[in-house]
Homo-oligomer: A and B are copies of this chain.
Amino acid sequence: MTDDPERVFEMRPIGFVRSPYAERSQIPKGPGAEHRAEGTLELRLELEPGLQDIEGFSHLFVLWVFDRAEGFDLVARVPLDQEVPHGVFASRSPRRPNPIGLTVVELLGRSGARLQVRGLDMLDGTPILDVKPYLSGVAPEALRRGWVAEAEERRRLK
């Protein structure tokens, strides 16, 4: 039952992202990329009751599918660091064994089964798997950012 590495879990979209990005090239990437894009998380109408009381949260986790990525690389160069390849689990690369994306968005409002949000970095039409409230974060002074901090420092010194 558990510990069966061949076990398959089937996930279905709870809704879709409406974002200003029709093409991957439009999404800000790499050093200093800021995600301020606004758009909508459109949930399936029958799931609307599941959004009860969500308006009280300022930020949400959105779990979604890189549905236009194919295959994966265990080690690859990514936009944040073009020089040194890194492991896929140490990066945000879309080419992952399970192509799940994770984005923190700011919740601007709700209308029925639609959530108006800021901070999207997904393509328009991206399938959403889950939405969760953001309750707390890691204190900045406790955080180490590994190769991302090193790549930033390398660029700063150039």
Query: Is B8's CB under 8 angstroms from A12's CB?
Result: yes
Q: Does A147 contact B (CB under 8 A)?
A: yes
A61, closest chain B residue (CB):
B102
Q: How large is the interface on A (under 10, 10 to 19, 20 to 34, 35 or more residues)?
A: 35 or more
Task: Report A98-126 residues with CB < 8 Å from chain B CB.
Answer: 98-100, 102, 104, 125-126
Query: Is B2's CB under 8 angstroms from A87's CB?
Result: no
Give the Cβ gap from A39 to chain B, nearest Cβ, in Å. 14
Query: Is A89's CB under 8 angstroms from B54's CB?
Result: yes
Give the Cβ gap from A158 to chain B, nearest Cβ, in Å. 20
Q: Does A49 contact B (CB under 8 A)?
A: yes
Q: Residue A7 contacts which of B12, B90, B104, B143 (CB distance < 8 angstroms)?
A: B12
